Amino acid sequence: MTQSIALPANATAASQRRAELASVLLEDCPPTLADEIALVGSTARGAADDDSDLELNLWVKAIPPRVERVGWLRAAGATDVQVEDQPRADESQWIKFQLDGIPAEVGWQTFSSLHAQIDRIRSGAVLDRKALTFGDVIASAIPLRGDQLPTWQTVLATYSDDVQRGIVKLAVDQWSLPKHWATAGRLARHGERLALMGQLLADLDMALRLVYAVNRRWEPSAKWMLTVAREFAPELVGRIDTVLGDPSLERRVDLCAQFCRDVLALVPAHYDVAVALSTL
């Protein structure tokens, strides 16, 4: 019998449809192909739209042979199956395909690689967004098979001081660069919109990453940064819209600097942000 997947109460119709297809895949998935399966991404959030992928993460002791993975998907009705040639940075191996006209991807990762990845991000050893988003992927995942996902979610529920400290340092280093804000002002005065917007977007992005760190929330992928932040810091997201929408380039620089200053003011007092504040 097809398993019913409990999505968030406000899940979109597109999420419901993708969850139905996930149930079909789950029903046909042999035990040898996955010990643990989780629904992840926009469908797990209940926020999928008509362009969203269906995403499943599968965990195993050893990655099954390619022919078995592809065979399962084709038997379940997958078309346009594309196997990624190389493992990703986290050693996961992915297959993209279409299922009933909906784009989908399934990734396999070994338990040993998963545990190593969890240790890396909790220790602050890696601070790039692509690595840290794994914390958010696990936090928002819905278990479909196995019983270990809740344990991983509990482990990642604690956002470590090391990660927070690392993100604070990234922000301070970026905003403490000599002439950082003077350069933005000069670009604005000369009407160099492209270069200016590149810098302002980088500053707004860093500020938003800092908001996540201050609130001890794992960063989602870039396409979800604003959407998720609206759940716990809606007034700050609104200010980003104000910065980007002001018709005056010089005013945008001032608004962006003030926004960064105010975000730095949220940083716990035991972190030294004085140098960065002095430039704003």
State the burial class of residue 235 (Cβ atoms within 10 Å of its Cβ: 0-12, 13-18, 19+). Answer: exposed
- Residue 2's pLDDT band, with cuts at 50, 70 and 90, is low
Confidence label for 277 from pLDDT (cuts 50, 70 and 90):
low
Whole-angstrom distance, CA of residue 222 vs CA of residue 235: 19
Task: State phi, psi for 255 to the nearest 5 degrees.
Answer: -65, -40
Query: What value, to the nearest 5°, has the Cα angle with vertex 87 and ends 85 and 93?
Result: 90
Alpha helix ranges (H) inside 95-179? 111-123, 129-140, 149-156, 161-175
257 phi/psi in degrees, rounded to 5: -60, -40
pTM of the model: 0.88
Residue with tokens 């399962």: 72
Cα separation, 16 vs 84, in Å, equals 27
**Per-residue confidence at 279, pLDDT binned at 50, 70, 90?**
confident
pLDDT one-digit tens code per residue, 42-81:
999 999 999 999 999 999 999 999 999 999 999 999 999 9
Q: DSSP character for 222?
A: G
Among 1, 89, 101, smallest CA distance to 54 is for 101
Element (H, E) at 16: helix 13-28
Cβ-based neighbours of 53, under 8 Å, separated by 6 or more: 41, 42, 102, 103, 104, 105
* Amino acid found at 173: D
